[in-house]
Amino acid sequence: MPSPRSIIPLLVALLVLPLALSAQENPYQVVYNWGDLPGGRPMGVVTGVQPDPDGQHLWILERCSANQCAGSDLHPLHKLDLEGNTVKSIGAGLFAWPHGFDMDADGNFWITEGAPDGDARGRAGLELGMGHQVIKMNQDGEILMRLGEAGIPGDDSTHFNGPAAVLVAPSGDVWIADGHRGGNNRVMKFSPQGELLLQLGGGVNDTSRESGRFNDPHDLKMDSQGRLFVADRGNNRIQIFDQEGELLDIWTQFGRPSGLWIDPEDRLFVADGMSGEQWNRGWERGIRIGDAKSGYVTEFIPDYEIPTGSGIEFLATDSAGNIYAGQVGRQRFEKYVRVRP
């Protein structure tokens, strides 16, 4: 007969296992191919989602019914109601390969051109003198500011190399992840007027696994405490910094993060569309949901489909807790409806 001492670990395991499984439950149902674009045209690769402050609409950024906007006369930026109907579209001819997307407190949009130097996806834009910029525009499509030099890559304070993400802090400071894979592996902070305030990480092709440095920083979000979350995708981790660029924590429990979203209750939603055999073996693709304060992962929405390129990379939530996400490889926009508390 086994001793009482040998039975205790088994009993503990049996008690803990149901808790672990319930913590990873999926309380969502997915609606594939959600949202209708003007004229019934197909959805392009969706590279950003932002809820409108009115609570009744959301804005999506897509690559002109394809994976490219260079030379297109289609609008890439759309305002949709919560039934998925497009009520406004803007931005035709302004972007070649739009990638990062944010809305500031005044309702203006900040959009990055995310193809780094040498990336074939940026070639069509470079031929038109486009790329390597972060563009600020209002809701009528009027350009208010440009950071970086159009079509010219670099790694100094006035040039980017395929910037992947942009975030406007409540203070008005602008954080930029520069750049997309193969570009600069740095995060930069600018004043509202475009003056460089600080830089984290290295220069052209300077990938690093060191703490506080990056390999393909792909998205940026900020929590209610003002902490900056960086999706350090190439290193399969999230790095967290304060406003002065001091490293506070490193989280690896959210898989290979491409996109981040933090809601007003500090719930963290992480799009992992690249885990699996090629990039992050032993991890499943999907959306991991947790607490931005503690780092605990509480829910997981698995991607059951056979991988087709990259999966979900960009996402946001509405006030009801529904998730809106862009499937890159499948060129599809999805809504995840919360069906259980």
CA angle 241, 242, 248 (to 5 degrees): 50
Range of lowest pLDDT (2-11, 18-27, 76-85, 323-332): 2-11
Whether 1 is covered by a domain: the verdict is no
Tens of pLDDT, residues 191-229: 999 999 999 998 666 789 999 999 999 999 999 999 999
Separation of alpha carbons 337 and 324, rounded Å: 9
- pTM equals 0.92
pLDDT value, residue 205: 65
- Tens of pLDDT, residue by residue over 259-305, are 999 999 999 999 999 999 789 999 999 999 999 999 999 999 999 88
Question: Per residue in 28-39, pLDDT tens?
Answer: 999 999 999 999
Cβ neighbours around 47 below 10 Å, total: 27
Is the residue at 109 inside a domain?
yes
Q: Are 229 and 251 in contact (CB under 8 A)?
A: no
* Four-residue CA torsion sign, 99, 80, 309, 237: positive
Query: Quick one: pLDDT at residue 281?
Result: 92
Distance of CA 261 to the CA centre of its chain: 7
> Is residue 295 assigned to a domain?
yes
3-state secondary structure of 311: coil
Other Cβ atoms closer than 10 A to 88: 15
| pLDDT digits 0-9 by tens, 109-166 | 999 999 999 999 999 999 999 999 999 999 999 999 999 999 999 999 999 999 999 9
Alpha helices by DSSP H, listed for the chain, are 4-23, 123-127
Residue 3: CB atoms within 10 A of its CB come to: 7
Residue 4 lies in a domain: no
Asked whether residue 169 carries a pLDDT value surpassing 80, the answer given is yes
Instruction: Give whole-number Cα distances, 199 to 18, 90, 202, 243, 246, in Å.
Output: 45, 32, 8, 12, 11
**What's the total number of domains in the chain?**
1
Q: Tokens representing 17?
A: 């296992």
**Residue 87 domain flag:** yes
For residue 166, what is the domain's CATH number? 2.120.10.30
pLDDT at 20: 38
CA–CA gap between residue 119 and residue 70 (Å, rounded)? 14
Distance separating alpha carbons of residues 27 and 235, to the nearest angstrom: 29
319 lies in a domain?
Answer: yes
Label residue 10 by pLDDT band (50, 70, 90): very low
d(CA 307, CA 59): 27
Query: Looking at the domain assignment, is residue 20 inside a domain?
Result: no
Tokens at 150, concatenated: 């159009």
Indicate whether 19 belongs to any domain: no
d(CA 143, CA 202) in angstroms, rounded, equals 30
| 27 to 24, 247, 299, 322, 339: CA distances (angstroms) | 9, 33, 8, 10, 6
- If 0-12 CB within 10 Å is exposed, 13-18 middle and 19+ buried, where does residue 152 land? middle
Give the residue numbers spanning the domain of 327.
26-338
Q: Do residues 124 and 182 touch, judged by C-beta distance below 8 A? A: no
